[in-house]
Chains A and B, each alone.
Chain A
Amino acid sequence: MGYKILQKRVLGPGSKMMVIEAPYVARAAKPGQFIILRVHEKGERIPLTIANADKKNGTVTIIFQEVGKTTIHLGLLEPGDELRDFVGPLGKPTEIKNFGTVAALGGGFGTAVLYPLIKGLKAKGNYVITIIGFRTKDLIFLTDELSAVSDEVHITTDDGSYGMKGFVTHALQKLLDEGRKIDHVFAVGPVPMMKATANLTLKYNIPTTVSLNPIMVDGTGMCGACRVEVGGETKFACVDGPEFDAHKVNFDLLSKRLRMYVKQEKVSLENFKAQLEKAKEAV
């Protein structure tokens, strides 16, 4: 049984959105949860956040950044193609309640997966300030979608080519400097960005939730690949998370563990690119 790709949209260079036919997952999905997919028979299992779930049509939207073999391969597929495996929803849903004013920070793929979170926060009556960061202007995506569900959207670029120059934490700092009262912060994205956010909000004593992205295999608590340290305790991000109290997370360990297979990942990617070249030549 395959899982059909129904739609595909290029959001920006190296970032894509796909709508997948997966009725069981769609039916049970809640904000904050993720799926694990395999592109093909010999493929790796990779986790991706559920960016949207349409229960009626039985579809799940994923948004991904092409960073290595599997995500690049996924990006090459087209509507009508099928994914080999697609399982979920995994992980605990976000605890969404009325916090008051919430700042939701997204960087990299995190930007994309803010969508269901913000929608949920809004539905509970929060005032939502969305802060998203990109390297440069050309990489900006999804701002319209996010604006539609946020009360405010702030955009930063590393090079200042659009919005505020700097990182999402700079934008948050500015709001705090202006004396804005923020009751809760969510941060999703690369580890350094989440770590910087945690350091900042700790100073202001703002409760902060991060969504961790360690390497996973099964996603059901069976292997322990996804071990993270939270408050000095070992947790399995796939079943105890992926969301945790930012002020208790050992981000340094997470960064290190994410580098466990860098050598092999490079081999895999180069191998794949060589295969693609060969296929091109054959045509």
Chain B
Amino acid sequence: MPRKIIYERTPMAKLDPKERVKTFDEVALGYTEEEALKEAERCLLCKRPPCVAGCPVHIDIPGFIALIQQRKFVEASEHIKKFNPLPAVCGRVCPQEDQCESKCILGKKGEPVAIGRLERFVADYERAQGEMRLPEIKPPSGFKVAVIGSGPAGLVAASELAKMGHKVTVFEALHEPGGVLMYGIPQFRLPKEIVLHEVEYIKRLGVELVTNFVVGKTMTIDELMQEEGFDAVFIGTGAGLPVWLGLPGENLLGVYSANEFLTRINLMRAYKFPEYDTPVFVGERVGVIGAGNVAMDAARSALRAGAKEVYILYRRTKEYSPARIEELENAIEEGVIFKELVSPVAFYGDENGWIKEVELVRNRLGEPDQSGRRRPVKIPGSEFRMPIDMIVNAIGQRPNPIIAQTTPGLEINPRHGTVKANMKTFATSKPGVFAGGDVVTGAATVILAAGAGTDAAKYIDYYLKNKDKPGIWDELYHME
């Protein structure tokens, strides 16, 4: 009997906007068992599922949804993990509407299956079961691998390599592992307990985690390889260097980079000051420059930390915002005010150096650029000033140059500061050194970084087993 098609997706409960702006608690509450079953029932379990092609790591989506239909939640989670080791994270933060869900067949006539929410549900279900089930770990290979950075790329590469029997050490510059998942994405969108759970998982696999270790400063890559005996290195250092506009007044007090503002709030827990020692300044009228995920996180964090009015200052219009739609909507629901078609020109301060005003110029939309988005064109003479007492600059990030400056033989793309790597094998120009995640692509997504970690691990394993084969590095670096 053909199944009845249900065009509406099962809603997911969220905290009320008025309540949630008072706390850093998670906004989206996730499905209950009944809701998950109901939503899973909508999936047609397509024989040739288009959704899978939309997922960067090609999760067997009908496969795991079928397991949910059979109430095998833990098995469903384990099935996802064969493709993506971070389902609890990706189920929450993936831009699903542009990826898997954008391709779902049900989306043609109605709403696509809520793949992300189901992914999140089974991962949370499994975690709530308590005992962490560990996969099979191969016998020790005798090889040592250094993983630099503990963001999604590094965490995933480390766990994959550990399962293959290699001795893995992760070196992290900050005092807590997790990368952007820990210092960037706020608690109300990704509870830190989930990140810590993933960290615990890699530790149980036997990965050694060294925090407070800045590769390039504490020790260089060459030293790790030559003196500490690491046979291979994976660079997963992300894109953590804030980009500035270079405008007058950018160094006034109250002008933050998104990284600093979010790091103070998330990593340093400044929202719990003075219980936690690190302070953060939050203005009454806050302007956030940019309209991506980072900007939304900064704007919503500012509201929660006590700002009265928060403006997104964006040079194009809302529909071109690179942020996830869900988060954009959440931000607006919470009261973030979207100012479209404006670009900052200068910042003005008072006699003590505190920001008081931002000067903006109005734009109109011109011809589409390479990304297909219509380019903002400044309207001459349309400058105006707006009173503001705090600015967060969220216009973008580039890779940190410390590794590049201290690693001879590692080729860098001069324009974006990214590490050059083969996009299939993740081999860099330096033998034995691989790289993946934001450090290679520039600021991208969690799932792409996690995918890079998984794939790089395969080729690192291949390299270790064929280290002495002549021409092995050329093969890896130039593989099509």
Contacts and interface: CB of A to CB of B under 8 A. Distances in A.
B279 to A, nearest CB: 3
Interface string A60-87: 0000000001100000000000001111
A43 B242 CA distance: 24
B175 interface: yes
A69 B211 CA distance: 24
A176 interface: no
Given A42-B277, A44-B268, A220-B402, A85 B175 contact: yes
Interface of A: 1, 24-25, 27-28, 38, 42-45, 69-70, 84-90, 217-218, 220-225, 227, 229, 234, 239, 253, 256-257, 259-261, 264-265, 267-268, 271
A217 B263 contact: yes
Interface stretch (B109-117, B253-261, B311-319, B431-439): B253-261
Given A42-B276, A70-B277, A84-B175, A253 B251 contact: yes
Given A259-B352, A268-B277, 16 more contacts: A25-B218, A28-B218, A88-B218, A220-B217, A220-B402, A223-B257, A223-B260, A234-B246, A239-B402, A256-B353, A260-B281, A261-B281, A264-B281, A265-B279, A267-B273, A267-B274
Contact of B401 (A69, A218, A221, A268): A221
A271 B274 contact: yes
Contacts of A38: 175
B253 A256 contact: yes
A222 B250 CA distance: 16
Interface residues of B, number: 40
A42 B275 contact: yes
28 contacts: A1-B210, A44-B277, A44-B278, A45-B278, A87-B213, A88-B214, A88-B218, A89-B217, A217-B278, A218-B173, A220-B173, A220-B400, A221-B401, A223-B257, A223-B260, A223-B263, A224-B256, A234-B246, A239-B401, A253-B353, A257-B353, A259-B253, A260-B253, A261-B281, A264-B273, A264-B279, A265-B279, A268-B274
Q: Which of B213, B240, B251, B275 has the most CB of A within 10 A?
A: B251
8 closest A-B pairs by beta carbon, nearest first, are: A264-B279, A256-B353, A223-B260, A87-B212, A44-B277, A224-B257, A85-B175, A222-B240
Contacts of A221: 240-241, 400-402
B103 interface: no
